[in-house]
């Protein structure tokens, strides 16, 4: 192997949700950036797929996410305007649970602290307004009208198209085998095809991040996830103008779902589906009867009008951090390497702003975005 004559300013490993956005923001700023993707652009092997992905302004996980989601909305609208691709669809969002549960209480707190418009409904009031739901009457539901879904494939393609137009070089089906620091403080990246050098590096490889950095071992752990699409008996109750996206905590676990869009069926999943930690290169990608049964049992109880024939089952990967908050930082021993990892099943909605953050970290080693709680040093 010989070093490519074209030394780059930045190399981005992974051109999924986060990596495509980072490549775009770097190219837009005039940097010579190379994006490397081991699969297709886009692909269905990792976390950045699934037809629809929830976006919401109410954020029960922690109020510190709110400034980032506000910026993410702005950037999603910007890339949609730039490319003409429909990316955000606003349906409203619902976070529901028994009173005192973090899903409801955390969402309420985030809205109150950041003056986000919202309504509090009982389970009965929620069903009256959106008849697809059948939650217990005494549950609490926070409704926020700006929530909805992002179309992940359109988002990735949009970022890639805009990055290419700005001069980026993006190469699919080129697997990164290893990287190392160079004597001048840059990086050398060895792939299945050749070797490249750059001043800095972005690790945005999703479930494969921990295979590219020892610092992420045990901090970015892949988990098998399954999604189902069931055909409703009354489809009109589950269209985007009739059913807000939702997160619901019930005795059976924490579930999430979206209206019909793109393929037939009402879409849903369960956080930490069967608690299966996996190797992203060796895992059961085909859903089975136990996967379907778990999701159908929930649907029959809480969305009975949606529990018709199965239309589709699909798998994807979560990559979980120990506290289920993001990892956005530079590597402790390699300040020229920015990393985005551990999105724990709730990261895609932020991809547009995370691309901006990664561009900041790769070029300046810091960002003005409030990412203090996402530092890798918190696990020391």
One of 8, 28, 53, 334 is an active-site residue; which one?
53
CB atoms within 10 A of CB 100: 8
> 324 in the Ramachandran plot: left (φ > 0), alpha (ψ -120 to 50) or beta?
left
End-to-end, the C-alpha distance of the chain in Å comes to 38
One of 38, 49, 140, 159 is an active-site residue; which one?
49
One of 45, 57, 273, 349 is an active-site residue; which one?
349
CB atoms within 10 A of CB 274: 12
280 within 8 A of 43, measured Cβ to Cβ: no
One of 85, 272, 312, 378 is an active-site residue; which one?
272
43 in catalytic set:
no
Nearest to 15 by CA among 37, 33, 39: 37
296 within 8 A of 230, measured Cβ to Cβ: yes
53 in catalytic set:
yes
366 in catalytic set:
no
CA atoms 215, 224, 150, 325: torsion sign: negative
140 in catalytic set:
no
316 in catalytic set:
yes
One of 23, 25, 28, 52 is an active-site residue; which one?
52
One of 56, 118, 267, 270 is an active-site residue; which one?
267
Give the up-direction half-sphere exposure of residue 128: CA atoms within 13 A in the CB hemisphere: 7
Q: Please provide the DSSP assignment of 172-205 as one string.
A: SS--EEEEEE-TTS-EEEEESS-EEEEEEEEE--
Residue 33, classified by CB atoms within 10 Å of its CB into exposed (0-12), middle (13-18) or buried (19+), is buried
One of 38, 45, 316, 330 is an active-site residue; which one?
316
Please tell me whether the peptide bond between 42 and the residue prior to it is cis, using omega within 30 degrees of 0.
yes
Return the DSSP state at 6. Answer: S
d(CA 202, CA 198): 11
Active-site residues: which are they? 49, 52-53, 267, 272, 316, 349
């Amino acid at each position: 192997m010989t070093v490519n004559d074209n030394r780059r300013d930045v190399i981005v490993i992974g051109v999924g949700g986060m990596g495509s956005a980072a490549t775009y923001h770097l190219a837009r700023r005039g940097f010579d950036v190379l994006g490397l993707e081991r699969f297709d652009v886009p692909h269905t092997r990792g976390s950045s797929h699934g037809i629809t992905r929830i976006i919401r302004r109410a954020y029960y996980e922690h109020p510190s996410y709110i400034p980032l989601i506000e910026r993410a909305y702005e950037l999603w609208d910007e890339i949609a305007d730039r490319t003409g691709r429909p990316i955000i669809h606003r349906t409203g969002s619902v976070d529901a649970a028994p009173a005192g549960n973090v899903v409801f209480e955390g969402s309420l707190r985030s809205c109150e602290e950041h003056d986000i418009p919202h309504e509090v409904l009982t389970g009965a009031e929620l069903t009256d307004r959106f008849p697809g739901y059948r939650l217990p009457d005494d549950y609490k539901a926070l409704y926020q009208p700006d929530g909805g879904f992002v179309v992940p494939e359109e988002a990735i393609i949009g970022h890639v198209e805009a990055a290419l137009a700005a001069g980026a070089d993006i190469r699919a089906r080129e697997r990164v085998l290893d990287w190392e620091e160079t004597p001048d403080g840059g990086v050398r990246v060895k792939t299945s095809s050749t070797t490249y050098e750059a001043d800095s590096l972005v690790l945005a490889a999703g479930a494969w991040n921990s295979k590219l950095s020892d610092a992420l071992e045990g901090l970015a752990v892949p988990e098998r996830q399954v999604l189902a699409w069931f055909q409703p008996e009354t489809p009109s109750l589950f269209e985007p103008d009739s059913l807000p996206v939702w997160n619901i905590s019930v005795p059976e676990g924490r579930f999430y779902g979206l209206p019909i869009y793109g393929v037939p069926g009402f879409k849903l999943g369960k956080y930490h589906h069967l608690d299966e930690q996996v190797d992203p290169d060796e895992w059961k990608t085909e859903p089975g009867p136990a996967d379907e049964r778990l999701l159908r049992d929930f649907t029959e109880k809480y969305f009975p009008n949606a529990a018709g024939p199965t239309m589709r089952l699909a798998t994807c990967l979560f990559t979980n951090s120990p506290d289920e908050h993001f990892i956005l930082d530079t590597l402790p021993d390699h300040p020229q390497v920015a990393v985005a990892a551990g999105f724990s099943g709730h990261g895609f909605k932020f991809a547009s702003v995370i691309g901006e953050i990664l561009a900041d970290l790769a070029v300046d080693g810091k960002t003005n975005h409030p990412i203090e709680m996402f530092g890798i040093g918190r696990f020391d």
